[in-house]
A = this chain, B = another copy of it.
């Protein structure tokens, strides 16, 4: 089994490598190729990864390359985890938002839109390579905005073996397990929605439905005091009877979140640059041959865990259930078959089968439909380099500007990202 990793110079890479080292035997993994266009990072991360593999007794061969096709050629899995423009572009996205009184987060709001417009042309090129050189490969996408990118792949390329991943559902499940003081293997969490726009509908612990109890806690006095990310209006939680995942705060608590972003001295992009600088310095230590503890600070907890488990589910045809991004195909009865959604799925050799779910609560349904329309229009804008589609995407995003102010925002977004649309 060969795995190619596009964006292999990411500081996350050691985490994934650790995961593959542990499971290499079960998976029958023989080769991992790290590909990146940033030669310096690829060297640092690649050398460290090689030390990790060697330290583990060489369970598989690991190579690095700047040539994308070498990572893809004959691969069984292609992991995409790159970031077009790096943290510098992310910083620009945030600043763009703040200039217009809007949220420029990297996956929601106009930041997500800018990132998607930069990323889609690249992912389409990668898929064209996969179609030609590894027609049976599975593309496992981590690149953000992960749901939107998966939407582009599954509905606008010939690659039908693609799964979009995100760590939010598993992270939430881990938080719940921790809160309850139980093992995460005993927790069954049903969530529904799109990537970064999900709701937990039901939590079952060892066969007992504890949803009502969890809702009471979250909407109660004690609440999630120390977790600002899920501090919602208690009436919202009671009225929905569901727990919004933490990215929903951008939509439900927009004024507070905006105030928070404005008040920050360093943008999240700048913070991450500092973290990455430190990590890369550490990775260069020739004595380091295992994943450093500090990597956990980087965010994206459990990325590695879920990536390895997905590969395992497909390769071993386990039918394991994971919450991933895939085409709906009737599972959420209110959404079209082709919409990419993020829901629990059974995963095996033949692919991804979403688990059927109840109809959506109307307020949640409307929010999902709006964000999905924005996603479709963003993909259209990127594919056609169409300013009209981009304009419509911008005003459809629930975090975007109202139409009467949208032209200026769009001018700025396109200029900042050197996009010439017509």
Contacts and interface: CB of A to CB of B under 8 A. Distances in A.
Contact of A403 (B253, B333, B359, B402): B253
Contacts of A369: 365-366, 369-370
Contacts of A253: 402-404
A323 to B, nearest CB: 16
A391 interface: yes
A402 to B, nearest CB: 5
Interface string A356-398: 1111011101110110111011000000000111011101100
A318 interface: no
Interface in A214-253: 232-233, 235-236, 238-240, 251-253
A373 B366 contact: yes
Contact of A376 (B232, B362, B393): B362
A131 interface: yes
Interface stretch (A46-54, A73-81, A334-342): A334-342
A406 interface: yes
Interface residues of A, number: 57
Nearest to A132: B132
Interface string A90-109: 00000000000000000000
B402 A254 contact: yes
Interface in A126-155: 131-132
Contact of A396 (B362, B377, B404): B362
Most chain B Cβ neighbours within 10 Å, of A256, A361, A395? A395
A405 interface: yes
Nearest to A396: B363
Contacts of A376: 362
A194 interface: no
A150 to B, nearest CB: 17
B338 A363 contact: no
The binding surface of chain A is classed by DSSP as helix
Contact of A395 (B157, B337, B363, B403): B363
A403 B366 contact: no
A207 to B, nearest CB: 10
A400 to B, nearest CB: 10
Given A236-B403, A403-B252, A333 B362 contact: no
A59 interface: no
A406 B235 contact: yes
B363 A392 contact: yes
A252 B402 contact: yes
Nearest to A159: B158
Contacts of A70: none
B330 A333 contact: yes
Contacts of A393: 363
9 closest Cβ contacts across the A-B interface?
A330-B333, A158-B158, A366-B373, A356-B356, A252-B403, A362-B373, A239-B388, A363-B392, A363-B396
Given A254-B404, A331-B356, A362-B373, 16 more contacts: A157-B158, A232-B403, A251-B402, A251-B403, A330-B333, A330-B334, A331-B333, A333-B333, A337-B338, A356-B357, A362-B374, A362-B377, A363-B377, A363-B392, A363-B395, A363-B396
Interface of A: 131-132, 157-158, 232-233, 235-236, 238-240, 251-256, 329-331, 333-334, 336-338, 353, 356-359, 361-363, 365-367, 369-370, 372-374, 376-377, 387-389, 391-393, 395-396, 402-407
